[in-house]
């Protein structure tokens, strides 16, 4: 396989908030460095769902991209989530992210309005043409209400700036078909799907639990691409309780609880999300401890 355009291991980073509920850029820089230096992430994804992007302003998003890029420099790529359900607004966010120093963009399928496939294709082509940055498509129909169908992905793969897919569609056969016919880099968009997606040609994972499992997941990827599939499977089975446990409730809630458990407090959450309950936080902390994380 050729080397992936942006890398193999990414974390959809949570957004730290201070005591007043504002974005804590200093803590965001520390968290980004923790992900890169300690957890071996090659890509830090900011302003995604796990970054609570529905509740942050455009100005906050731009400042977060700039701060994280300043912190990681050339040691990792910074990919910015720019997807909304308004094409014109998404284009503005593409320009904003590029100006703030992003190395790539993540665009989710337009949600709520349920556009047909030709409109979805037109939307993504418009965003991909807004800058020269490489773009990852985020295919997550259980949140957006619409899949990016296989035929649409085949069409979108022809755009030079569309280089990858964050795949959370749970259609492994369809994903395999796209990978066989195109050069798109496929990332597991669900942590527990990392080994299945690798088995049909994927390049890696854009994770949530990788706030904690990044180093070990990097070892899994190393083993897989070295041809040591038994070792990759062994690591996968060790990490599976964390891969799934982080989604016992909404992912960002569990990540922030897990980071606090590790002594790295990143603040609270913005409504409508609430902090994980004491029982949820305790259970996830136990899972991290059991996995020696």
How far is the C-alpha of 55 from the C-alpha of 272, rounded, in Å? 9
How far is the C-alpha of 243 from the C-alpha of 194, rounded, in Å? 9
How far is the C-alpha of 14 from the C-alpha of 31, rounded, in Å? 9
How far is the C-alpha of 194 from the C-alpha of 179, rounded, in Å? 15
| Bridge partners, 77 (sequence order) | 43
> Looking at the annotation, which residues are catalytic?
138, 166
Neighbours of 21 (CB within 10 A): 13
Residue 99 in contact with residue 126, Cβ under 8 Å? no
């Amino acid at each position: 396989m050729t080397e992936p355009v942006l890398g193999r291991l990414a974390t959809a980073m949570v957004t730290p908030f201070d005591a007043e509920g504002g974005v804590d850029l200093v803590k965001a820089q520390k968290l980004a460095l923790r992900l890169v230096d300690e957890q071996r992430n090659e890509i830090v994804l900011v302003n995604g769902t796990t970054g609570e992007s529905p509740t942050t302003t455009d100005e906050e998003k731009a400042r977060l991209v700039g701060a994280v890029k300043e912190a990681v420099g050339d040691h990792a790529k910074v990919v910015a989530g720019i997807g909304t359900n308004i094409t014109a607004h998404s284009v503005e966010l593409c320009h904003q992210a590029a100006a703030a120093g992003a190395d790539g963009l993540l665009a989710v399928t337009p949600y709520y309005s349920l556009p047909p496939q030709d409109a979805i294709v037109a939307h993504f082509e418009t965003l991909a043409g807004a800058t020269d940055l490489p773009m990852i498509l985020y295919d997550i129909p259980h949140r957006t209400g619409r899949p990016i169908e296989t035929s649409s992905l085949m069409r979108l793969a022809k755009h030079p700036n569309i280089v990858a897919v964050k795949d959370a569609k749970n259609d492994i056969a369809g994903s395999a078909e796209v990978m066989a016919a195109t050069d798109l880099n496929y990332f597991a968009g669900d942590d527990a799907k990392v080994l299945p997606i690798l088995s049909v040609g994927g390049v890696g994972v854009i994770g949530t639990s990788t706030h904690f499992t990044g180093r070990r997941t990097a070892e899994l990827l190393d083993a897989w691409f070295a041809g040591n599939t038994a070792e990759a499977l062994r690591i996968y089975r060790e990490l599976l309780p964390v891969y799934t446990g982080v989604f016992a409730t909404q992912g960002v809630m569990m990540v922030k609880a897990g980071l606090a458990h590790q002594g790295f407090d990143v603040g609270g959450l913005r409504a409508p999300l609430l902090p994980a309950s004491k029982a949820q936080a305790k259970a996830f902390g136990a899972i991290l401890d059991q996995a020696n994380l």
